[in-house]
Structures are given as structure tokens and as C-alpha cells.
Structure 1
Amino acid sequence: MMKKANKINTEFFWDGATWSNLFKLYFDIKASLNFLNCGNQQLVHFFEETVGVTPNYPIRLHWYGPLDGCVFNYEKGKISKLDAVLSLLYGRMNVSITWQSKSGRIYDMADEDIDCDDLIFWFENLEKEECLRMINPIIDWHRLVYTSGFIDVHKKVWAVDFSVPFVECMNSQLLPIFEERTGITINKSNRVVLGSMPKIDPITPEMIAESDKIVRLQRSIGLFPQLDDEAFEDFIEKTKPTNDYPKFQYQKGTVSTISLYFWIAQNIFAYHQDIKWQSKSGRIYDIADEDIDYNDIEFWFDNLDVEKVYQALYPKIDTPFKLKNLSYELKVYQMSLDAIIHMHLKTDCLADAENYIIEIDNFIQEINEKTEKKDPKYAVIHGWESKIEDGFIDYSLKIGDNGIAFLKKLFKFVSDLNCFDEVVMN
């Protein structure tokens, strides 16, 4: 069972200071911290009352900026409205942040003299069932292709029609081929998805300059802490917007081909992959055909690059911190907000494994309690699971925005237990 922090993250919907800066940068709109903090407090309560759950991970409100071709929609009046996007764990929802006052005063986002007892905030277009689906969906993680999303994206982005039987057959044949070739079992932890590269509008010099400006602002408010100045400039250059984007490619014939993309490690890494198929009967199947004979059609990968898959799923990276004199060997293969930590017990510590879990759980909970007291030295842990298996203690952690600070403390605490000879984070 997932263990929860005592309280919900106090910056549940937005980080006031960050969004105050971003509103000004993106849209030249002033938003006071007093306004944002009042809205955050009331919207958290409204969300929990409406949806009926308190998620143990951060849910964020955000706005698409000029680079996305979006317009900031803010209507001021007796009932004011601000359109936004609500990001949940497994999806996004367009909502409107709405507010009015009991006194009749019309509050502006820029107002500093906010009487929070006078203001009433709520969401419009907040759909309870859709929220619940995006918070805790029933998902078959043992797939390469997620049929409905795959079909919807290709229809919307490329105006290309795939049939459900075609996509289901493609997934059922390619999945075992992939797992046999790579030795990797596709599941929630090892997510490899076949999909399409998004279609990108032409990039202008103004958009490149805007992108550079935004990324540098993000750097100034604490993002990318693992990069030194030289590495950050290299990152800027490598991620500069470009018009060099692929197009959807489909060649129909005796041996047909479509060009797709592998999305790996929660969409952090993507690369091109051609999929081919033919039939035993000689029939030429189209991607839109409904009458797919699973026993007649044969799918395969064209030049599956197993090494690229390994590099994406298990990148050996330098940790963004240095820890000396640990009592075990530390290996970090990936840094993300969902951390899986495998701790190999020393032989003479196996019998006390349950006690070590209790000590580590207490340590994590202590960090959460100190966080709630606004101690900036500690990070928030939104939830965690633990188990003992084959001489290992395994932890699955949902780490907050200050994850590096937390991990440093956790790895040192585990070292003090002196009961592990190796700790691996994937």
C-alpha cells in the first residue's frame, strides 16, 4: 500500500512565486503573491470536496505560453475567470479558475490587499469522473501501443486513420518480439511506447529567442541545478527549437512500412523506428482496414536498435551530488520524480530487514513533518512503497521538487544503518 504524507502538498496547484514571474514573462500580466496564495488555498479545498480524493502527489495548474501559440484568457468582472490547464498524473484537463467576492468588490490578479475571507474561488469545467480516471486509471501497462491514444493522435495531428483491429494486432505481435529481442519486460516501471512524433509548426527567429529567454529564466529560479554553466549552455544549444522535424511516412505495398517513434522513460527520450508488415496470403493490408486476419498478417521491427533502448531506459549518469564515505556502493542510473531504489542487504542483516524498513519509513515521515513546518532544508515525499524480496529492500518513491536534497539525506541515513553493500537507483 502506498504510504502518504500527513498532509497534502501546500503548493498543490501552483508555486506562487514562480508563476508570478512566469505570468509577467509569458503574458506581461501581474499577479500578486497574496492573490495566488489565497486562490491556491481555496482551490485545493474545492478540488478535494468536488472530486472526493486527496492525491498523494502534486497536481499542477499551468498555462501554455506564446511558444505554444496560445492566448492568455483572463476576464475581469463581478465573476472573474482565468482559463488554465489542470495536470493530473495521467492526463490534463482544461478548466476555468473563477472567483467573486462576498462584498461586491471586483478583485484583480495584481491586487496586493487581498481579503481571503471575502473571496470565493472555484473551478468551472472540473469533471469529477474524468479527474478520477486521470488520478487512478485502470491501465494495462503491458503494451507497446496504447490503441485509443495512438489512433486519436494520428487522426488529430496527421489526419491519418488507423483501425482498432490493425493497431491491436500490431501491438500483440510486436510486444513479444520486443521483449524477446531486448530481454526487457514492458510494465509500469519499464515504459516503452510506440507512437507518433508531434507535428510542429514552423519555427521563427522570434520563437527561438523567446525559448532561450524562458529557459534562462527557469535557470534563474532554480531549475536545472545539476548542470554547471558550461553544461547549461550546451543544453540550450542542443534543445534550441528547429524546423528539422520528421513527417508521417507510410508506404503501402507487398511489404508495407510506417515510420513511428519509440517514446522511452516517460517520454524523456524518443527515436525513430520503422514498422513493417506483410501477409502470408499476398493481401495488401491498409492501416485503416477493419477486417484484419491475425493469422495472415505479420509485423516486425526494421532494424530494432536494442542498444538505444538500453541507453534510454537505463542511462548511466553522474549523480548531481557527491557523497563521501558511504558504507555501500551507490549506483544511480536515472534521476526522476518516480525513484525506484534497490538496496542489497548484507548477509548478517537479512534477519533484521523488517526493522530497517521501519527505520527508513520513520526517517521519511520525519522529513515530511519537518517540511510541513516550512523547514527549507528538507524535501517533500508524496508517497512511497517498500518490500523485501530476494535479499533486497526495494523502495518506490514519489519525490517532490526538491528531490536531490532529499536523496542526499536518504543515502546518508541508509549508510549510517551499515547493513547494505550496494544501493542502486533506477
Structure 2
Amino acid sequence: MPTLFFNISTLVYDFQNRYQQNMSLEFANCADIQLTTLFELRTGLKINKQISIATRPEQEFFVKYEVVSQLPFYVYINHNWNPVTVLWKSKSGRIYQLEDTDIDCDDIEFWFEELDVALIHRQMFPDVQLPFKLKDLSYELIVTRINMDATIELQLKAERLNDAQKIELEIDNFISGFNEKSEKKDRIHGVIHNWKTRIEGDKMIYDIDLGSTGPYFFKKLLPELSKMNYFTKVELC
């Protein structure tokens, strides 16, 4: 299966050739496994030939070894080069360095400092609303944008206006259930950090911090809203 580092041997050689820095295969492998999983979770995209990690120009290179260490990369997305910083730390308190070969992948943790999910979607799918397909929804779906701080506007059917509080509870229970299922599987699909609701006229408006889950949450939520059959229109904005 394709991974974010695409060709680890080439990446290791690039570090030596461009930066005169030794990156061990062991370090690169641990980073690749974790960052690939994290990227696919946060974006909802599977790694393919249009997605990979790339080194930055020499003048942009740095490596900081601290309790939380860091290293700059580009994430290549469909002929676009997005700057990101990869961070890592250890559970044990050890400060791992690029050249270390005795890497405990269960001890070291990698993540991105910034990953602009909305931008990545626009770059990958400039003419497509969502990175997944939905069929036969019971409401009109409008996707204005997908951000990590998302707003969902749900327009209630006229006959459901008096049921707004009951419907809000159903949606709250769905979100809580989503978090619980993910928690039981070591947060495999991330969790929603927080959300709040308000009602304006015939609309229920959810402000949601997608936290560590990303678009995968919408892949589950939107069909569930369709099953409820309470809405004429749902907008992600």
C-alpha cells in the first residue's frame, strides 16, 4: 500500500545529499507509519501518487531536538507543495534524533504541527464537494467549505419545527456515540472535541470543533441525518 513517505530509501538519501544529515531507516519507518495513518484519518484521503512527503529547499531546513522535536517538510498534494512541520516526542522522555537506529515505535509519537485539511481538499478535488460519495440523501446538501472548525446549518421541515429540542438530543447522542466508538478502538477515527447548538428560525446550527477526526465524521453524520428525515436542507459552511 502507498505511504506518505513514498520511497523511504530515496528520502533518507535526500537528507544526506541535501542537508548532510543522517536519517536512519528505523526513524523514517516509524515516522512514515504514524504520519500516513494520521494524514488519512485527518483528511479522509487514501495515499496515492498525488500525495506524498517531500523535503524543503536547503535554506528552509532545520531540525530542533527538544522534549518536542521538530522538522520541516512539504506535503505534496496534486502538484501543490504545502509547508508543514513534523513534530515528535516520546512517552519515556527520551529525545530521539534522526540518526538513531534503536527506535521504539511504541515510545515515539509523530504528528503534524499544521495540516490545512480544507486546503488539501480543494487541491485534490477542485471541482468536487466531498472526498467521499453519498447517495439518495433525504435533504439537499450544500458544501460551502469544510474546516476543522465547522458550522452545520440544518433546515427543519415545517412539521418538525416543534421537535427541535428532541432532534438536538438525537444529534448530540450521535456525536457522543461516535466519540465513544472511536475511544474504544484507541481513537482510530479521532474524536469531536466540542460542539454547541443554537436555533435560529427554522434552522438548527451546530458549531463543531472536529478535533482529531476530520472529514470522516461527515461521512458518518450525513447519512445519519438522512435517516432521521427531519431536514429539507443541510449546509456545511
TM-score, normalised relative to structure 1:
0.34
Distance 1:393 1:23, change over 3 A: farther
Gaps of 5+ in 2: 17-22, 34-53, 73-84, 110-119
* Structure 1 equivalent of residue 63 of structure 2: 73
Residues 4-153 of structure 1: pairs in structure 2 closer than 5 A: 24=12, 27=15, 29-30=23-24, 31=27, 65-67=55-57, 69-73=59-63, 82-83=69-70, 109-113=100-104, 116=107
SS of 1:372's equivalent? helix
Indicate whether 1:374 and 2:197 are aligned. Answer: no
Equivalent position to 1:397, from 208, 211, 236 = 208
**How far apart are the structure 2 equivalents of 1:65 and 1:107?**
14
Indicate whether 1:323 and 2:137 are aligned. Answer: no
**How far apart are the structure 1 equivalents of 2:13 and 2:213?**
24
Tell me the CA shift for residue 69 of structure 1: 2.1
Distance 1:67 1:330, change over 3 A: same
Q: For this pair of structures, how many residues does the alignment match?
A: 181
Equivalent position to 2:172, from 361, 365, 375 = 361
Q: Do the aligned residues in 1 keep the contact of 2:192 with 2:213 (CA within 8 Å)?
A: no
Tell me the CA shift for residue 346 of structure 1: 1.1
Distance 1:412 1:83, change over 3 A: closer
Tell me the CA shift for residue 370 of structure 1: 1.7
Q: Do the aligned residues in 2 keep the contact of 1:368 with 1:379 (CA within 8 Å)?
A: yes
Distance 1:406 1:35, change over 3 A: closer
Residues 237-256 of structure 1: pairs in structure 2 closer than 5 A: none
Q: Do the aligned residues in 2 keep the contact of 1:344 with 1:423 (CA within 8 Å)?
A: yes
Q: Do the aligned residues in 2 keep the contact of 1:35 with 1:109 (CA within 8 Å)?
A: no
* Structure 2 equivalent of residue 136 of structure 1: none
Paired residue type of 2:103: E
Q: Do the aligned residues in 2 keep the contact of 1:27 with 1:72 (CA within 8 Å)?
A: no
Q: Do the aligned residues in 1 keep the contact of 2:148 with 2:209 (CA within 8 Å)?
A: yes
Indicate whether 1:417 and 2:228 are aligned. Answer: yes
SS of 2:142's equivalent? strand
Residues 298-337 of structure 1: pairs in structure 2 closer than 5 A: 318-337=129-148
Distance 1:327 1:72, change over 3 A: same
Gaps of 5+ in 1: 1-16, 38-63, 86-92, 122-222, 232-315
* Structure 2 equivalent of residue 297 of structure 1: none
SS of 1:69's equivalent? helix
Q: Note the alpha carbon deviations across 1:216-272, whole angstroms, 9 max, x for none.
A: xxxxxxx759847xx7xxxxxxxxxxxxxxxxxxxxxxxxxxxxxxxxxxxxxxxxx
SS of 2:215's equivalent? helix
Q: Do the aligned residues in 1 keep the contact of 2:64 with 2:71 (CA within 8 Å)?
A: no
Q: Do the aligned residues in 2 keep the contact of 1:32 with 1:109 (CA within 8 Å)?
A: no
Tell me the CA shift for residue 344 of structure 1: 0.7
**How far apart are the structure 2 equivalents of 1:319 and 1:343?**
18
Distance 1:407 1:339, change over 3 A: same
Question: What value does the CA root-mean-square deviation take over the aligned residues?
Answer: 4.8
Tell me the CA shift for residue 82 of structure 1: 4.2
Identity %: 31
Distance 1:383 1:19, change over 3 A: farther
* Structure 2 equivalent of residue 242 of structure 1: none
Paired residue type of 1:365: S
Distance 1:346 1:68, change over 3 A: farther
Q: Do the aligned residues in 1 keep the contact of 2:175 with 2:192 (CA within 8 Å)?
A: yes
Q: Do the aligned residues in 2 keep the contact of 1:317 with 1:334 (CA within 8 Å)?
A: no
**How far apart are the structure 2 equivalents of 1:360 and 1:81?**
37
